[in-house]
Amino acid sequence: MSPATDRILTILLLLLLPVLSLSTGNTFYKSMLVFGIINAIAAIGLCMMLGFAGQISLGQSAFFGLGAYGAAVIANRTGIEPVLAIFAGALIAMAAGWLISRPLSRLHDHYLAMATLAFGIILYILFANVRSLTGGLDPGINIGRLTLFGLDLSSTASFFWAAWVMLLLTVFIATNVSSSKLGRSLLAMKMAPLAAASVGIDTLRAKAFVFAIGALFTGLAGGLYAYYARSFNASAFGIGYAIELLMMVVIGSLNRVSGAIVGAFIITVLPVLFDQFEDYKTLIFGITMVLIMKYMPSGLVDAVFSLFGRLRRRVVG
Amino acid sequence: MLQTRDITKSFGGLRAVNAASIEVPGAAITAVIGPNGAGKTTLMNIISGFAVPDSGSVTLDGKAATGARPHQLCAMGLARTFQNLQMFSDMSVLEVVTTGRYRHQRASLLSNLLHLPSTRAEERAAVDNARDILRFLGVEESYWERRAGDLPYGVQRRTEIARALATEPKYLLLDEPAAGLNNQETADLGRVLRLIADSGVAVVLIEHDIDLVMDVSQRIFVLDAGTVIADGDPAAIRSNEAVIAAYFGGEE
């Protein structure tokens, strides 16, 4: 998929969401849209790390959790504007991403996957056990309603708009990164790190940047999740969620924002379409991921696009 | 002036570079030659910050550059290409060369994240600059939008040189740029190297193709087993006894 196709597809997707939300009165469908958007924001964070910069992370659930707990704890203890609490949670996740990038900077591929997985597990254990702060698995933690200047946005219909605006913001920044020198420097580091360094790119800084911004968006999604769920416990931030995020990015398109959005909605909706999906989730995800990585290394949506491109060339030419 | 002084580097028991001192003046082509395993690439990696010497020093225009990291050396005016192409394969040729403008794009992080006018202007300037360099090196315009990894080897070589030139180096290190090129492409490369040197860049050429080296270089350093055994202009090197013995294997 070319950057231009990506941009058009992204805009269409972003416009489609309000149409879908307005065209259904069913709260359940609307809540699927909200969860889809939250997942899309988190997946874009991972897409920037894995797709833009080749830095795999199996610990995104930790950033999601830091964003959620960060927002909840700060909101509960200080009573600041909920939106500010969400941003504060995202900043905490960002700081964590930036901090772990240095010790991880010498690791590649499956070593990086293992290390980030370990990070995810450690944070999960912390979320579950530092109960004075997080409430652990039981009783968990509660958070107030999402409001903006006194306006109550906690109903699913209005929460949709809050989440949608956050998605716009995320897409705007992610697209700017990919179309600027920042995106080129990440791509350069992914494809030929020695050459990237030789044209003046500080690869340690580039990695720190992408870990920070990837964690920021996944943390932002975590903050939104906290306000939407309003009551949650550590089980939401297990490694399972990190794997789901990876699935979203891999199913969509490894290095395109539109792919992350499509992937997020597919993974969000699948369990609803198929009753028994939960039981076979791990098996299905595992097999799908292996097949996609083997036969469509740039992602499913990307593969479909290049197939269409080839067909069209054959018909025209 | 780029200088190395008594550079020594061992890998395990093997002394790859042994007290090597070379000097590279500006706006000329200086070649480093030697048989396989003579330590040319190791010396190159030390100069460009990809390896740290056990002892000895590197100076760039009188400033200490020993042990500096590659991106810092880039900022000091050093650029290089790689023996086994290090291509940004999935980018278009134009994007690859635009990436070389990285250190000259100084808009703030915030400006980049928000795509402010300063970033947009800078992007346009970087792309224009990349176009100029590709034209300068004679890379046909029909290749510019193509995926770099799909292009013929010779075009990728020139794209790599263009990427290095885009950093506006004072010193350009080329590690076997003629490797894998046919005769026509090698002749073209020779012309390109002269053009680059004439534009005021000091070219350091590490090369196996002895005809190319003799043809374009003003000064040649000969390495054998990590030691500089001779240096001088092409005529002097051609008639040097030690070089003939070590490098030409005594055949002549």
pLDDT > 90 fraction of chain B, expressed in percent and rounded: 81
Q: Do A199 and B113 touch (CB under 8 A)?
A: no
Cα B175 from Cα B155, distance rounded (Å): 16
Residue A24 lies in a domain: no
Tens of pLDDT, residue by residue over A42-86, are 999 999 999 999 999 999 999 999 999 999 999 999 999 999 999
pLDDT at B158: 93
When pLDDT is averaged across residues A142-158 and rounded to a whole number, the result is: 92
Percent of chain A with pLDDT over 70: 99
Q: What is the pLDDT of residues A251-274, one digit of tens each?
A: 888 888 999 999 999 999 988 887
SS3 content of chain B, % helix, strand, coil (to 5): 40, 25, 35
What is the structure's pLDDT at A313? 76
- Cβ-based contacts of B77 with chain A (< 8 Å): none
> What single-letter amino acid sits at B72?
Q
Domain count, chain A: 1
For chain B, residues with pLDDT lower than 50 are 251-252
What contacts A242, CB < 8 A, 6 or more positions away? Answer: A57, A58, A59, A60, A61, A62, A117, A120
Could you tell me which residue, B49 or A310, shows the higher pLDDT?
A: B49
Q: Smallest Cβ distance to A191: which of B90, B105, B119? A: B90
Between B75, B99, B115, which is nearest A184 by CB? B99
Check CB contact of A184 with chain B, cutoff 8 Å.
Answer: yes
Interface contact B91-A187, CB threshold 8 A: yes
CATH number, domain containing residue A211: 1.10.3470
Domain B1-77+169-252 is in which class? alpha beta
State the pLDDT at residue A230. Answer: 96
Give the distance from CA A170 to its chain's centroid: 10
Q: Nearest CA to B205 among B231, B184, B185, B175?
A: B175
* Residue pair A258/A298 in contact by the 8 Å Cβ criterion: no
Task: Tell me the β-bridge partners of B7.
Answer: B20
Structure tokens at B127: 């792309």
Task: Report pLDDT digits (tens) over A82-134.
Answer: 999 999 999 999 999 999 999 998 898 889 999 999 999 999 999 999 999 99
A204-208, A277-281, B33-37: the lowest-pLDDT one: A277-281
Q: What is the pLDDT of residue B247?
A: 67
CA distance B65 to chain A (A): 14
- What is the per-residue pLDDT for A316? 67
Contact A199 B79 (CB under 8 A): yes
Q: Which domain holds residue A295?
A: 30-316
Is any Cβ of chain A less than 8 angstroms from the Cβ of B63?
no
What pLDDT is attached to residue A209? Answer: 97
Residue A177 clears pLDDT 90, i.e. is over it: yes
* Complex prediction ipTM: 0.92
Inter-chain CB proximity B48 and A198 less than 8 Å: yes
Distance, CA of A305 to chain centre:
22
From chain B, the residues in CB contact with A203 under 8 A are: 71
Calpha distance B57→A229 (Å, rounded): 61
B89, B90, B93, B99: best to mutate for the A interface, most A CBs within 10 A: B99
CA of residue A40 relative to chain centroid, distance: 6
Whether A249 contacts A292, CB under 8 Å: no
Q: What is the pLDDT of residue A219?
A: 98
Beta bridge partners of B92: B147
Position A91 in a domain: yes
Question: According to CATH, where is 3.40.50.300 located in chain B?
Answer: 1-77+169-252
Q: What is the pLDDT of residue B252?
A: 41
pLDDT attached to residue A174: 96
For chains A and B, CB pairs below 8 A equal: 96
pLDDT given for residue B248 in this prediction: 62
Judging contacts by C-beta atoms under 8 Å, the chain B residues touching residue A187 are 88, 90-91, 99
Instruction: Report the distance separating Cα A155 and Cα B125, nearest Å.
Output: 48
